[in-house]
Amino acid sequence: MAKITRRNFFKLGAVGAGMLALGNNVNASAIDSKKVKYDEEYDVVIIGSGYAALSAGITAAKKGDKVLLVEKMGRIGGNSVINGGLLAVVNSPKQKVEGVQDSIDLYMEDSMKAGRYINHPDLLKVIGKRGNDALKLVEECGAKFYDKLSHLGGHSVPRTYLAANGSGSGIVLPMFDYIEKLPNVTVKRRTKFDDFILEGDRVIGITAREKYKFDSKLKDDDFENKSGTKKYFKAKKGVILASGGFSCDTFYRTQQDPKIPADADSTNQPGATAGVLLKAFELGAVPVHVSWIQFGPWACPDEKGFGAASNFNINASFRYGISVNAKTGKRYMNELADRRTRATAMFKLVNDNKNYPINICDQVAVDKIIPDIAEKALKAGVVKKYNSIDELAAAYGIPVAELKQTIGKYNDYVKAGQDPDFGKPVDKTDGVLIAKAPFYGTKGVPKLHHTMGGLKINTKAQVISSYTKAPIPGLYAAGEITGGTHGASRLGSCSIPDCLVFGMVAGENI
């Protein structure tokens, strides 16, 4: 059989390459356990160290399992530690306090609509039903949340918890402190997964390299980087894949969506590559929705990555303010639509000679969010404060008369509780107008944020085989490396519960 390299794998297509690799033998693409002398033995080995990995590790360890987490980067947490710390929970304690009427059906309809109805509803329902379990898990670890719910784009009602420090680190770091204290858990940084070890058809371990050093200068770190010392780790009960998405894998994402420019900025950490995903495909895992890649519409072109402006726009500008075309001073979208709808509307402006839209809100909006979020954005210089609308318009070159007319019309819509122009749910924006100085402005641009596709799993977090149409024995997955749950586009604040819930499910079932 011809050797399958990373590059000719794509030419064949994921399923085709996986089937070629397998032939009639599902063991063909991995290492036979008979040829292995293990360096260390565990019950469960987990690839990754973000929400899904920590949730799975804590759950498995509580059952008494001996657990190993391997993280290829020097820092723990992956993308989880640098995101907005937003967690949507249906029928939550805070919803009861705020009198919000919600239901699993409403949550699923919101998510299916955003996902263009290609979501896998069985997986989505698990997240809806077990969101409160995930919330209890992270609160038990010590995570704290802001006292008010957030209302993010595409959600019919407020259902989003916000980490008290306005960052994913407010959830991940307490979870990591918690798991580090468990005597039956080992965490290895700079340890890169390389391959699966099989006993018959069952995943029974991994090979990995310790003292590995990620090199962002390489064109393809997964393929070219040979650093580190090879080790063999046994996983008697199985392996859980929780290594995240591939937004920073320029080659692979371009094969999925050629429209994405090679130099497109991403909110992800640089180690968000496709290496683990491709190894699972070689083993025969079913690929789902891999070409659906999401842009976050709340980022800023004046800074790299997720930065400080994203959280400001998510919590203040989009809920309590407006986004306008800098050339016309007019609104061009529903600021609380789902991410795909907003990103598409923004790209129409951005692609027109770098005409970045301007997001605007006032002091009343800023008073409603965590002070740290505004302070960080102002300090970074990506959100700017102005004493008047005239000042703001002059700074961004917006026609001031048209902008004032737009703001006046928007304020009338808020008072009336209806937005006939774009359908923004202004009846759920607490009656906040754009009226009280100072006023805040920031440039907007969508950035690569979430890869919607990945491995097909069932409701027990078992990875499904293209070859057998059944679970691959001993192989589980959770979080962004999986696909199908959110369809074509994920609603904001629905990734963290996905990771936490299916991490728990994997830890329970392994």
Mind telling me the catalytic residues?
339
User: What residues contact 396, with CB distance under 8 A and at least 6 apart?
Assistant: 326, 358, 441, 443
Going through 254-314 in order, the beta strands assigned E by DSSP cover 287-288, 293-299
- Tokens 């359908």 label which residue? 423
Q: Is 266 helix (H, G, I), strand (E, B) or coil?
A: strand
DSSP label at residue 295? E
- Tokens 């390389």 label which residue? 194
Q: Is 236 helix (H, G, I), strand (E, B) or coil?
A: strand
CB atoms within 10 A of CB 417: 12
Residue whose C-alpha is closest to residue 91's, from 155, 168, 158, 146? 158
Angle (nearest 5°) at CA 65 between 60 and 67 = 80
Q: Is 253 helix (H, G, I), strand (E, B) or coil?
A: helix
Phi, psi at 392, each rounded to 5°: -60, -45
Residue whose C-alpha is closest to residue 193's, from 282, 321, 112? 282
**Which residue type, as a one-letter code, is found at position 405?**
Q
User: What residues contact 25, with CB distance under 8 A and at least 6 apart?
Assistant: none
418-424 contacts, C-beta under 8 A, 24 or more apart: 419/334, 421/331, 422/331, 422/333, 422/334, 422/335, 422/337, 423/334, 423/337, 424/334, 424/335, 424/336, 424/337
Residue whose C-alpha is closest to residue 453's, from 300, 281, 263, 314? 281
DSSP string, 432-493: --S-SSSEEEEE-EEEEEEE--EE-B-TT-EEEBTTTSSEEEEEEE-GGGB-STTTTSPPTT
DSSP label at residue 269? -
Token output for 64: 């008494």
- Looking only at the bridges linking them, the beta strands covering 40-47 and 229-241 are parallel
